[in-house]
Chains A and B, each alone.
Chain A
Amino acid sequence: MSQTAVLDAGPRPSEGSPRPLPRFFGRGALAFVLGVYTIYTLGPFLWLATMSVRTTAEISAAPYAWPSTFHWEQYRSAWVDSDFAIYFWNSTLVVVGAVAVVTLIGAAAAHALARYRFRGNRLIYAVLFSSIIFPPQITLISLYQILVEYNLYNSLLGLALVYVSLQLPLTVYLLEGFFARIPQDLFDAAKMDGYGDLEIFWRIVLPVGMPAIATTLILNFIQLWNEFLFAVVLITDPDKRTLPIGIRAFMGDHFQDIGMIATGVMVSVIPVIVAYVFFSEKLIRGMTAGAIK
């Protein structure tokens, strides 16, 4: 038998690679899995949304029922009567401030670690990375003590600083990985064009790294917006509560105002959705038009 004949024969069905699934079956299975997953994740949210326009009495009578009357006034009541406006403002102040600082410092640190060779570079990186491994709860008592020492306990500034320290390692870790992939030639070209290190960071690194920065923005925002543990330990004044603690106020020892809790949760979820939609769609799409090549 000639060699050509052997080559032309190709793999036999019994010994060749597995045959691909029929297309309709593959697509149908995919649609089924995605459908189940969507119901699994969206179901509780929709249930919460229906509860947010029902009274606690109605919910107690029929937990899964569709609202017979839409009590939109619950939103007004939560916003005005239950101080949700204050909690919302506190959350916005703390989270936006912390995320802004984390992003700026984290991007600068990640750029330095990714781009400059200096003694201790990898040591700093290892220390930062190791802090991701440990659960944040173990720092709670020491952070409490530090805030008390510096008169930052029970203050929004203190809470924001704690949030910065909590999110910084992961931010640096994520951004360093992305920034390290930006070609060195880009920096060299900017140097030849007359730009200094700080200007290169501002004009090249930040815009080119925007997809990664947007990712950390979303992650940090969602994580801090929903953060409960540190807020409940480090804030005591009712007028300094953030949204998660504010919602907790509707939970008594013997009675839980489920309707108002649902309304509060819906109020707190809206900015998260807005942040996600804004950053993940518009920002990333816009900034990745000239991807790194």
Chain B
Amino acid sequence: MAVVRLDKIVKRYGLTGPTVVENVDLNIADGEFMVLLGPSGCGKSTTLRMIAGLETISGGTLSIDGRVVNNVPAKDRDIAMVFQSYALYPHMSVADNLAFGLRRRAIPAAEIERRVKGVADILGLAPLLARRPAALSGGQRQRVALGRAMVREPQVFLFDEPLSNLDAALRVNTRSEIIKQHNRLGSTMIYVTHDQVEAMTMGTRICVMNAGKVAQIGAPLEVYWQPANTFVARFLGSPPMNLMPATLSPGNRRATSPALDAPLGRWSHATLATYAGKTVTLGVRAEDLGLEKPAGEAVGAIRGRTVAVEPLGAETLLLLDIGGGTEITARLPRQVEAFLDQEVELFFRPEAAYLFDAETGDAIAPAADSATVVSAAVKRRTH
């Protein structure tokens, strides 16, 4: 178990080449399950590979348990990694794959055998020990890859999109298996994925990355309900958060557009005054929109014309064109009957509204007392 600390970590290819990771600051606590989440090319895998020692670090400091490891070779960092492609040695049996790393470390044969057997029993690999990787299914290979990391008993586990090559059902099973092993071992784990469901269900905390930079770090529900910017707001959530341009009227604390009228009671007069008359971005999650008007005076409303109706069985997605080239999605109960090209008015509670600076995309923080309302909303939705 170990504390991993990234301090202004930079990765640049060549002297004049592109900077793919820029000033990443990240403190990963002992025993924490940290998920690096982001789209392809955001630098999450490169960051993981720098932690592993498979990529050189162009700038900043990487330390494990207080020891700076920038120039320490991968083999001396006491880290194990599970790869997306499994990376099992094709010419070795499962048992040899598990034992390969231990043999290099001059561990007595009896101890190697004990550890291999122990891990094989935990992961249900005992009947497969004599087989070669080519004779295993995708799920079995993934378990061998996990076992190869576990058998080393390292300080830190790294996972580079380990579930990407599995089918949906197997992905759910293996996800549970990894969570189970994290709970059992209590080791520090760093997990890279582009799948928000994996991130939300597995991570103690999530570090959302975009274009080589950290967009936000926080607990899964915190990042979901309090996104720091429009990128995080859109990236977490399916369907993504609806973002609509609106003009602020600080006097009556409303954001309006021809199709939209949103009360902004959560924000202070002072905060809104700085954006007076300016265009801002208003965000509402699809699940916070409804056809029935909630009780109370201050209710947000959006009008639009249906362009698609997607009945998914458990729910119905309604796609609305609200004008100005903007489309929004509402997640409605399955009983809802909707038709194409129909005028619809959707409502939302004032605490469901998010406000972002239209230029920078950064979230405009609500007043402190309103933050309590959000926390309450988070709790309500969690339970």
Q: Which residues of A contact B (CB under 8 A)?
A: 183, 185-186, 188-196, 199, 204, 207-208, 210, 287, 289-293
Is the CB of B203 closer than 8 A to any CB of chain A?
no
Q: Which of A185, A193, A290 contacts B75 (CB 8 A)?
A: A193
Contact of B90 among A192, A196, A290 (CB under 8 A): A290
Q: Which of B75, B92, B152 contacts A195 (CB 8 A)?
A: B75
| Least CB distance, B7 to chain A, in whole angstroms | 23
Nearest first, the 5 closest Cβ-Cβ pairs linking A and B are A290-B90, A193-B101, A185-B87, A194-B104, A189-B87
Asked whether B234 is an interface residue with its Cβ less than 8 Å from the other chain, the reply is no
> A193 and B85 in contact (CB under 8 A), knowing A290-B92, A293-B133?
no
Residues of the A chain whose Cβ atoms lie less than 8 Å from the Cβ of B35: none
B275 contacts chain A at the CB level, 8 A cutoff: no
Are B74 and A186 in contact, CB atoms less than 8 angstroms apart? no
**Between-chain CB contacts (< 8 Å), 8 pairs:** A183-B87, A189-B87, A190-B100, A192-B54, A192-B81, A194-B105, A290-B89, A290-B132
Smallest beta-carbon distance B379→chain A, Å? 41
Let me know if A191 and B105 touch, CB within 8 A.
no
Q: Can you add 14 more A-B contacts, CB < 8 Å, to A194-B75, A293-B134?
A: A188-B49, A188-B87, A189-B148, A190-B100, A191-B53, A192-B81, A193-B75, A193-B152, A194-B104, A194-B105, A199-B104, A290-B133, A290-B134, A292-B90
Nearest CB of B to A26, in Å: 32
A224 to B112, CA, bound (A): 46
Given the complex, which residues of B lie within 8 Å of A190, measured CB to CB?
89, 100
CB atoms of B134 and A289 under 8 A apart: yes
Q: Which residues from chain A contact B73 at a C-beta distance below 8 Å?
A: 191
B237 to chain A minimum Cβ distance, whole angstroms, is: 31
Per-position binary interface string of chain B over residues 57-85, scored 1 when its CB falls under 8 Å from any chain A CB and 0 otherwise: 00000000000000001110001110111
Contacting residues, chain B, for A290 (C-beta < 8 A): 89-92, 132-134
Whole-angstrom CA separation of A208 from B97 in the bound complex: 14
Decide if B134 touches A188 in the complex (CB within 8 Å). no
Contacts A192-B52, A290-B133, A291-B134: A208 and B91 contacting too (C-beta < 8 A)? yes
Q: Would you give the shortest CB distance from A185 to chain B, in whole angstroms? A: 4
Inter-chain CA distance A293–B86, complex, in Å, is 9
Partner of B83, one of A185, A194, A208, A292: A185
Tell me the minimal C-beta distance from A205 to chain B in angstroms: 11
Instruction: Name the residue in A192, A208, A289 with the highest tally of chain B Cβ atoms < 10 Å from its Cβ.
Output: A192
Is the beta-carbon distance between B91 and A193 smaller than 8 angstroms? no
Is B101 within 8 A of A194, CB to CB? Answer: yes
Q: Which of A192, A199, A207 contacts B91 (CB 8 A)?
A: A207
Instruction: Please give the number of chain B residues whose Cβ is less than 8 angstroms from any Cβ of chain A in the complex.
Output: 29
Cα of A188 to Cα of B81 in the assembled complex, Å: 9
In the assembled complex, which residues on chain B have CB atoms less than 8 Å from the CB atom of A204? 89
Complex CA distance for A185 and B86, rounded to whole angstroms: 8
Q: Are B54 and A289 in contact (CB under 8 A)?
A: no
Tell me what chain B mostly uses at the interface: helix, strand, loop, or mixed: loop
A192 touches which of B85, B86, B101, B134 (Cβ 8 Å): B101
Contact among B80, B85, B91 for A287, CB-based, below 8 A? B91
Q: How far is the CA of A44 from the CA of B105 in the complex (A)?
A: 58
A289, closest chain B residue (CB): B132
A195-B91 in contact (CB<8A)? no
Closest to A186 in B: B87
Q: Which residue of A lies closest to B132 (CB)?
A: A290
**Known contacts A193-B104, A194-B75, A289-B134; is A185 also within 8 Å of B85 by CB?**
yes
> Which residues of chain A are near B74, meaning CB under 8 Å?
188, 191-192
> Which residue on B lies nearest to A193, using beta carbons?
B101
The digit string for B101-129, where 1 denotes a CB below 8 A from any CB of A, is 10011000000000000000000000000
Q: For residue A185, which residues in chain B have a CB less than 8 angstroms away from its CB?
A: 83-87
Contacts A204-B89, A290-B92, A292-B90 given; indicate if A192 touches B84 (C-beta within 8 A): no
Distance of A185 Cα from B85 Cα, bound (Å): 7
- In the complex, A293 Cα to B74 Cα: how many Å? 24
Q: How far is the CB of B308 from chain A (nearest CB, A)?
A: 21
When A183-B87, A204-B89, A287-B91 are in contact, do A188 and B104 touch as well, CB less than 8 Å? no
Question: Across the interface, which residues of B come within 8 angstroms of A199, CB to CB?
Answer: 104
Q: Give the chain A neighbours of B104 by CB distance below 8 A.
A: 193-195, 199
Q: Could you say which residues of chain A place their CB within 8 Å of the CB of B148? A: 189, 193
- In the complex, are the beta carbons of B85 and A183 less than 8 A apart? yes
A23 and B75 CA atoms in complex are apart in Å by 58
* Chain A residues in 8 Å Cβ range of B90: 208, 290-293
**Most chain-A Cβ atoms within 10 A of its Cβ — which of B53, B81, B83, B91?**
B91
Distance in angstroms between the alpha carbons of A190 and B87 in the assembled complex: 9
Q: Which of A188, A189, A210, A293 has the most CB of B within 10 A?
A: A189
A246 to chain B, nearest CB (A): 40
Whether the Cβ atoms of B89 and A186 lie closer than 8 Å is yes
Report the minimal beta-carbon distance from A253 to chain B, rounded to whole angstroms.
Answer: 55
Return chain A residues, CB-CB under 8 Å to B87. Answer: 183, 185-186, 188-189
Q: How many angstroms between the C-alpha atoms of A289 and B131 in the bound complex? A: 10
Which residue of chain A is the closest to B101 with respect to CB atoms? A193
Pairwise interchain contact B83-A188, C-beta atoms closer than 8 A? yes
Closest to A189 in B: B87
Q: Is the CB of B132 within 8 A of A192?
A: no
Contacts of A188 in B (CB 8 A): 49, 52, 54, 74, 81, 83, 87
Contacts of A289 in B (CB 8 A): 91, 132, 134
Distance in Å: Cβ of B360 to nearest Cβ of chain A: 38
Q: For residue A127, give the distance in angstroms from its CB to the closest CB of chain B.
A: 25
Docked pose: A195 CA to B81 CA in angstroms: 14
A194 to B52, CA, bound (A): 12
Residue of B nearest to A210 (CB): B91
A189 to B53: give the CA distance in the assembly, Å: 11
Contacts of B88 on A, CB cut-off 8 Å? 189
Q: Does the CB pair B83–A189 fall under 8 Å?
A: yes
Shortest CB-to-CB span from A241 to chain B, Å, is 41
* Alpha-carbon gap, A204 to B100, bound state (A): 11
What is the CB-to-nearest-CB distance from B73 to chain A, in angstroms, rounded to a whole number?
8
